[in-house]
């Protein structure tokens, strides 16, 4: 079964997460856990503060 995942990350929380050197590893682990196949990434409703 295929499904769509959408994340909403508040700006401050997202900025802190991206500064974390292990963010990419954590995201890869999450995608592996849900057995995600090929993904298309898109920024939706992005706001600069």
What pLDDT digit, counting tens, does each position of 10-27 carry?
Answer: 888 888 888 888 888 888
State the Cα–Cα distance between residues 37 and 35, nearest whole angstrom.
6
Per domain, the residue ranges of the chain are 1-49
In this prediction, what percent of the chain has a pLDDT beyond 90? Answer: 0
Give the helix ranges, DSSP H, for 1-49.
Answer: 11-19, 23-33
Paired tokens of 34: 């849900």
Tokens 């508040």 identify what position? 10
6-21: burial string, b at 16+ Cβ within 10 Å, e else: eeeeeeeeeeeeeeee
């Amino acid at each position: 079964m295929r499904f769509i995942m959408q994340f909403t990350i508040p700006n401050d929380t997202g900025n802190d997460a991206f500064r974390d050197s292990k963010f990419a590893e954590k995201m890869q682990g999450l995608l592996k856990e849900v057995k995600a196949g090929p993904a298309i990434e898109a920024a939706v409703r992005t706001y600069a503060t």
